[in-house]
Structure 1
């Protein structure tokens, strides 16, 4: 058989190889398109045993790790359970890229053997299946990041994160979908198609780590890894109802990942975990940081895990906390379900004694948005064109197939080096001003400390219809500031409660467009999440404070069991 030579032939050959990688006895009946919520398919399709369902429904990832470390559960049985569920997810929401069952099961069997021989787990993530966004290189596998032109580009070595995951005892078992170029807040490419939201398949899974978000939303992985340049972990985590963290730059090792716009290092993309529990986020962060990644990645910051920070040493030791609430960014007013989630969170925190009513002013957010856009598009399309010209594949210009729709990747303006330096300089000034604003809040809080963290929407809406996710400003502002942010679930869109309000005084045309987008029936069942934002390199404290908020919310919902 002749080797593929055109991009169409490359595409067809890769699609077939992905299909062939799925075990034939794991094929299930796929619900018709009118079935929107497919989160119950794993329980109803008959592929998973009762024990496998129990394993994959275990949202307490720390408990799962303890069962694996003790041998109560074997890595092979856990990996098989999650692999089956991941393959089910692939069939209903198209979330996977690379499928390598034999490789993962061989790894899991080796870990079981080591535990049996030594009586000790291999590492803190012993036996745990981990899914990886299709950027994290695994030796011997292709990493296309949605480009047809990179089909056949096999990794000759593991990314640093992959090496560390092996050292920690994890089992990388699938790679997940992303948009062509990565530079979209939705997930679609010509190779692996569009990733759907499992809670409502007419809605987007977000992006660019949308495959991870959808897989986690289907409980097809206990722990996933995405990347975040402007919200690419937090948006999919939020849209799929799971936890997700954006650490500060270089806290985690990015070396060896396949990326777009390589060489842009003034505001780099960062690795970030996604999980069903905040405990899963903590387990990943602690394991990777304790592995001393700065010995393998020259850019990784030498900052060991700080247990005192996690216990909120500089935040009143976890006593009374003060949260600033960003109700809107002054540009686009969030939809009704987002506002309801904010109010629920405020009430939950106040009910357990925290000061959660400080209104946070969006200090020069509009200018920070412009800086993010300027840096991200400084070279126009040159980076994308260098790849697509290898085969002549088309560059995707919108996420809904309409060339007149909002286009993120097709900016044609370019900045000179001097012009870009001025953007960098202005960003430095704004970061200092924002820090001063934060510090100044110490004069207004009851604790005498500055506000401990910000509670903010992750987007002005829950997951919108495909092709309509035109706003990443609520997340990317914190990339511009290099702040740490963690997403946590709150509720879901309920048309019976989340009625469309009458028009407000619109901030702008974009605000009016966002208002017009909202229809409670269209957004039905979409998860609603928020983000907790701390300052630069406050990963441990942000995890600790998110735990505080998470407990308060769960107690609040328990007290008001009729609240969705």
Structure 2
């Protein structure tokens, strides 16, 4: 018999979307009028989605992870109630914003029932994440769900290959750890732009991007469709979406959370590894999830994970360190690009908040971010990205604009010669050494006998971006080059009446001038504005303590003085 002609990629997508939408219970389906209203609104986070919810769903999904655990531990909530509420809200979020490449509500409820039975029998929670619904970027393999990473050619395959036996059976190690801890995956979110679900817009201002590449997970967290989320980061792909959506996030140094069994582009690039990052609505939930994952001793199953458990002695504790006041580095700009006015105002709020609380801040002028730009691109994409190109060619789908520059004329680029690549790696190690020397030398300035504990800087120059207007990523990508952990801390929202380019603005560089020309106070109005805090390599425990100090200082300051400077 003659072979069937290959199906057009749009037919494959249509079947995929139909199958996914069938997994949404009828009673959770939004009317066409509601969906149309959402598309015509500037903001759908907050009141719009919450007005659609019943009181129980709103009450449960408004609570933070630690509070939900306490409620399940005292029996006032069940895991079935929590998973049902979050699954319903995630279903609404998906219908409003096209957020789920994979839907696993049914399996999640089965697991929630098992946890409730365990609690009834044993009168205790099964683990530190008992009953907490989690969504993940669609790079993590979960039994019973597919993994496409947004590639049409990966639908109904295992990473683009058919007949492997791993389809919907294989599971990433970190997912196995989540199950063992009691967390319950309910779905998987997309890359910010893909040919399956389309573009993922910012729910605080739907003219703006959600950031990338973990933008889908960022929007899911902003719309509170799960208690926490996991994404991946090799150049700011967790930090940027968190900052654009007003979330907290942790990007650890490589090797602290297992990456074993996670689908990825450029899997052979291990000089600057992709890391797993956590998104949520508080520092407390970041700490809870990170500490819980470490408690599973992931290094016993993944030889690329550091044999380093949670170190309580690394945390900052004022009672354990009487008289010691941590000092912070402060970098309002990197000498290359000035952040847009909403971000500068957010940085000013943090600075004032810390000074009012008695903390010292020191100017941070390290080896230039320009150097990191010379390192990051060649290492991350020096091979020409043949695997991404091949994945796109499987279906014949078009290349999305966000990665079109990687394939000039739609063609595969030649890889970088190995000797040149090795020179870039040498440069990276030299850059890391000089940056560390600068950091340790800060002990001479703090007066505490210790170097600064962490550094406050922009996450990006932007309070979100207009699509296609992202021109500078070195505030985050430099931290991947350095392999330093970072926490994003939401501070305020862009305000067109306040956030204006001042008459005294003088460009630092030509790149700075071009970047500031992209700012539009009206277009960015209402977008979240955040800062990032980064620390020394593999010191996530200390960094999370410092992030909590800053979040509390900002809360005190804004409660007393307001947010406008």
Whether TM exceeds 0.5 here: the answer is yes
TM-score, normalised to structure 2, is: 0.93
Question: Structure 2 CA distance, aligned partners of 1:123 and 1:474?
Answer: 37
The gaps in structure 1 that reach 5 residues or longer are 179-186
Shift of 1:314: 13
Corresponding residue for 2:162? Answer: none
**Distance of aligned partners of 1:74 and 1:3 in 2 relative to their CA distance in 1, 3 Å threshold:** farther
Shift of 1:546: 0.3
Query: Is the Cα–Cα contact under 8 Å of residues 65 and 132 in structure 2 kept in the other structure?
Result: no
The structure 2 residue matched to 1:33, chosen from 28, 39, 43, is 39
The structure 1 residue matched to 2:352, chosen from 342, 347, 355, is 347
Shift of 1:397: 3.3
Corresponding residue for 2:450? Answer: 449
Query: Is the Cα–Cα contact under 8 Å of residues 492 and 526 in structure 1 kept in the other structure?
Result: yes
Question: Structure 2 CA distance, aligned partners of 1:410 and 1:551?
Answer: 50
Query: Is the Cα–Cα contact under 8 Å of residues 206 and 469 in structure 1 kept in the other structure?
Result: no
Question: Structure 2 CA distance, aligned partners of 1:125 and 1:159?
Answer: 18
The gaps in structure 2 that reach 5 residues or longer are 158-166
The structure 2 residue matched to 1:177, chosen from 183, 190, 201, is 190
Shift of 1:78: 0.7
Query: Is the Cα–Cα contact under 8 Å of residues 366 and 438 in structure 2 kept in the other structure?
Result: no
Shift of 1:255: 0.3
Equivalent position SS for 2:336: coil
Question: Structure 2 CA distance, aligned partners of 1:381 and 1:227?
Answer: 17
Equivalent position SS for 1:398: helix
The structure 1 residue matched to 2:172, chosen from 159, 178, 193, is 159
**1:124-143 residue pairs with structure 2 within 5 A?**
124-143=128-147
Query: Is the Cα–Cα contact under 8 Å of residues 93 and 201 in structure 1 kept in the other structure?
Result: no
Mean Cα displacement is larger for which, 90-99 or 192-201?
90-99
Mean Cα displacement is larger for which, 455-464 or 496-505?
496-505
Shift of 1:451: 1.2
Shift of 1:409: 10
Q: How many residues align?
A: 548
Equivalent position SS for 2:271: coil
Corresponding residue for 1:147? Answer: 151
Corresponding residue for 1:248? Answer: 253
Equivalent position SS for 2:451: coil
Equivalent position SS for 1:107: helix
**Distance of aligned partners of 1:90 and 1:4 in 2 relative to their CA distance in 1, 3 Å threshold:** farther
Shift of 1:464: 1.0
Shift of 1:444: 1.2
**Distance of aligned partners of 1:300 and 1:113 in 2 relative to their CA distance in 1, 3 Å threshold:** same
Equivalent position SS for 1:324: strand
Query: Is the Cα–Cα contact under 8 Å of residues 129 and 171 in structure 1 kept in the other structure?
Result: yes
Question: Structure 2 CA distance, aligned partners of 1:413 and 1:424?
Answer: 19
TM-score, normalised to structure 1, is: 0.93
**1:62-461 residue pairs with structure 2 within 5 A?**
62-153=66-157, 154-178=167-191, 187-311=192-316, 319-356=324-361, 358-398=362-402, 412=413, 414-461=415-462
Shift of 1:377: 1.6
Corresponding residue for 2:164? Answer: none
Question: Structure 1 CA distance, aligned partners of 2:180 and 2:307?
Answer: 19
Corresponding residue for 2:542? Answer: 541
Shift of 1:3: 10
Corresponding residue for 1:558? Answer: 559
Mean Cα displacement is larger for which, 325-334 or 495-504?
495-504
Shift of 1:405: 12
The structure 2 residue matched to 1:14, chosen from 13, 16, 20, is 16
Q: Deviations over 1:406-439 (max 9, x none)?
A: 9999883521122111111111111111110111
Q: CA RMSD in A?
A: 2.3
Question: Structure 1 CA distance, aligned partners of 2:496 and 2:406?
Answer: 27
**Distance of aligned partners of 1:408 and 1:350 in 2 relative to their CA distance in 1, 3 Å threshold:** farther
**Distance of aligned partners of 1:142 and 1:405 in 2 relative to their CA distance in 1, 3 Å threshold:** closer
**Distance of aligned partners of 1:469 and 1:71 in 2 relative to their CA distance in 1, 3 Å threshold:** farther
